[in-house]
Homo-oligomer: A and B are copies of this chain.
């Protein structure tokens, strides 16, 4: 019999987010689950860590029982302190971050707290996966949590979770009924981007303030890219890493002569 994996669950929407709580319920059907997640909503924090201030944490309870650690910090902080301090006696087999409310595809990946929690797991040398649902609408997350849990269970049983050191998986689930999902595609990060602007407003005292606005410009036609795969009703899984070196440019410029 395959042993139960030890899974740390985190997210960026906060420990009370239904996307996390439904996922925890489903993962508990086959895994030992530990939760260390931000206390509050932390979207678009990128891969931040808290270094100039101390972290405060709270034991979060549910129905009178210990549920997990709520961290006044970022998703990366929550994973770090969960693995290195609160659950330091646990040998984690996986970090799962999510389920995020909103897609994390293409350029959005670099702003994503959900992905950053999984990145932090990978930095700590634990196989990690970020999971997002492609909608901001209010949803119950029941089907996406079942699907996610099934996929993670298969990956565990088929011994697919141990990738190269430094590689994480970024999964995006289209927000459609489960029976309409066509399958799972392994994809590349898309090239779609935001055309940003700022909306200028005045506060009640006449001072200006600025809201970021933007619309996504689609450049990914083939469903070998994450953005296109989810639009085409596939679950997208993209292998990511945090070696940001642009090797093509490195080869082109490595013999540059720069005088001092």
Q: Point out residues on A near B: beta carbons under 8 Å.
A: 41, 43-52, 54-57, 76-77, 80-81, 84-85, 107, 109-111, 116, 119, 123-124, 147, 150-151, 154-155, 160, 163-164, 166-167, 178, 181, 183-184, 186, 188-189, 193, 196-198, 200-201, 207-212, 235, 237-250, 253-256, 258-260
Contact = CB atoms under 8 A, between A and B. Distances in A.
B260 A147 contact: yes
Nearest to A41: B52
Contact of A85 (B77, B107, B198, B207): B198
B239 A164 contact: no
Tell me the number of copies of this protein.
Answer: 2
A44 to B, nearest CB: 5
Nearest to A182: B260
Given A107-B123, A198-B81, A151 B246 contact: no
Contact of A239 (B56, B80, B111, B245): B245
Given A209-B56, A242-B107, A244-B109, A151 B197 contact: no
Given A107-B123, A178-B260, A249-B239, A189 B244 contact: yes
Nearest to A163: B249
